[in-house]
Amino acid sequence: MSTVSHLDQQRLDAEPGSLLAGIRDQQRDLAAGHTIDIPIAGYKRPQLLARYRFISLDEGRELGERIRKSDLYSTDNDRAEAALFTSIIEACEGLFAREGDKLEPVDPDGGGPCRYDDRLETFFGVEPSGSARTAVLLAFKGNGIAALSHARVFAEWLTDTTKTVDELLGEA
């Protein structure tokens, strides 16, 4: 991205409170430091939530390149599914239990909130597999369709981080 000269910047500066200033403010705030907590289907009381961070364009490209180069995926559908799973695995900051206003990390050993990893498998009483994808499926009770649907909600949030989880799930 090129920089704007001082004189050009003066011409581009918008009056505070103007429509143009509002657009510029929204652009600056779009993704910086945003996270979202998305409920995992099948858990009611308490809910199980996954907290995700924003994935930058560069990070998304790197994830896509890893998937494209992998010999594990033979079709475009396989690669698309892998991209969804990989995005939630990489972006997950932790899993949390929530009931009402109470939020508690899934932290069985004092190491911080579990992610989609061996610690989560141990928490659920399963021998660790070393596979993050297996941990994702375990969190979703083996329901791959629910996991993919959840990942699509996350992907939609990446397109507009101002949306709330209720808006994304159609509950607003």
pLDDT at 113 over 90: yes
Q: Considering the domain boundaries, does residue 132 fall inside one?
A: yes
The domain of 134 spans 15-166
pLDDT at 85 over 80: yes
Residues 86-92, mean pLDDT to the nearest whole number: 93
Give the global pTM.
Answer: 0.78
Sequence-ordered alpha helix ranges (H) in the chain: 6-12, 19-29, 57-69, 76-91, 118-123, 132-139, 144-159, 165-168
Q: Considering the domain boundaries, does residue 4 fall inside one?
A: no
pLDDT at 29 over 70: no
Q: Considering the domain boundaries, does residue 33 fall inside one?
A: yes
